[in-house]
Copies of this chain bind each other. A is one copy, B any other.
Amino acid sequence: MKLKFAKGNLLKSVNIVMKAVPSKTTMPILECILIDASSSIIKFTSNDMELGIETIVDGTIEERGIIALDAKIFSEIVKRLPDGYVTIETNENLETIITCGKARFDIPGRSGEEFSYLPMIEKTDGIEISQFTLKDVIRQTIFSIAANENNKIMTGELFEIKDNCLKVISLDGHRISIRKIELTHSYENKKVIVPGKTLNEISKILSGEMDDKVNIFFTNNHILFEFDQTKVVSRLIDGEYFRVDQMLSNDYETKIKINKREFLDCIDRATLLVKEGDKRPVIINIENESLKLHMDSAMGSMNEEIGIEKEGKDLMIGFNPKFLIDALRVIDDEIISIYLVNPKAPCFIKNEEEDYIYLILPVNFNSVR
């Protein structure tokens, strides 16, 4: 095999497929990037058996062939090569020579035969959205998946398609994040649970441009994201997702409008009095046209007041500050609305259109004070 690439193209493609290379595995072949130039195009593939990425690379095939190269070494070499044209050449012993300018690397390769190609996904019922939107939706929901694997379903996000609406939901037992996207037309209804890891990795590859599109296809066990010259295939998480609709409510006793930046900075200041791991709540006192925030810890106490618009009753309620911060950080609106019922009922941060809904459970602060 003999291939030639502009260094920039090669680096871009290697960075894409690196996202599906497992850091630890018992199968050394999975630590490789497969370079397949057996036909008239050059394809790089990586696959950790949960998540697989395939990308077409711009380059010249001087001699066809296939080789699997250790992903870490290969990517390090490409990263540090000088700018210019890079040649990758292999011989029958799978020895691989990578040259660029006067630099030459000799590294061992592996036969591509043991490599697991991506599963074939039948492309029916695909939806199309912009890369910008998908990246944004992931950013605005991914923080509230559960970190530990005790409940597998909580480590993923629900992607639900209903007519012309895509709804993405994550929850971890303390909070729920919901984002709704209007699609350009109606599709067959679908509900799948996508692993959080897949979403994290894909959002690193997505361009984030409004004009760049991504097509998403579903089978019973897999989801396929197709964009630019890249395919990302992931297993889905098995099981029935939580019935989130039952947990939502439009009733409220108190509604406030508050400047998001002011509120976020204020909670952020309060948390400096809390040591990592300490579950001390921030106490919010809504009274007339102001929100008073109070934090108390062994290090000291903090009080601050923010002007608000209020409808309904006064209220005192406690929250884990991290949960408020996580949600406020990803909301783009300058002024946000918060809906509350009583100190034991969840609060909702949402906009009029309900493009986004963040539900956060309060904390019993009487026991702490």
Interface residues, chain A, CB within 8 Å of chain B? Answer: 70, 73, 76-77, 80-82, 102-108, 265-266, 268-269, 272-273, 299-306
Contacts and interface: CB of A to CB of B under 8 A. Distances in A.
**Chain copies in the assembly?**
2
A265 B82 CA distance: 8
Q: Counting chain B CB atoms within 10 Å of each CB, which of A102, A105, A268, A300 scores highest?
A: A300
A300 B268 contact: no
B105 A300 contact: yes
17 contacts: A73-B272, A73-B273, A73-B299, A77-B269, A77-B272, A80-B265, A80-B272, A81-B269, A82-B265, A102-B306, A104-B303, A104-B304, A105-B273, A106-B301, A107-B300, A107-B301, A108-B300
A163 to B, nearest CB: 45
Given A80-B268, A102-B304, 7 more contacts: A77-B272, A80-B265, A80-B272, A103-B266, A104-B304, A106-B300, A108-B300
Nearest to A266: B103
Nearest to A101: B304
A357 B273 CA distance: 49
A85 to B, nearest CB: 16
A328 B82 CA distance: 18
Contacts of A265: 80, 82
B70 A299 contact: yes
A278 to B, nearest CB: 14
A77 B300 CA distance: 11
Given A82-B265, A265-B82, A103 B304 contact: yes
Contact of A80 (B76, B77, B269, B299): B269
Contacts of A73: 272-273, 299-300
Contacts of A108: 300
Contacts of A266: 103
A266 B105 CA distance: 12
A107 B301 CA distance: 6
Contacts of A273: 73, 105
A42 B125 CA distance: 71
Nearest to A95: B300
Contact of A105 (B82, B102, B105, B301): B301
Contacts of A106: 300-303
A274 B102 CA distance: 20
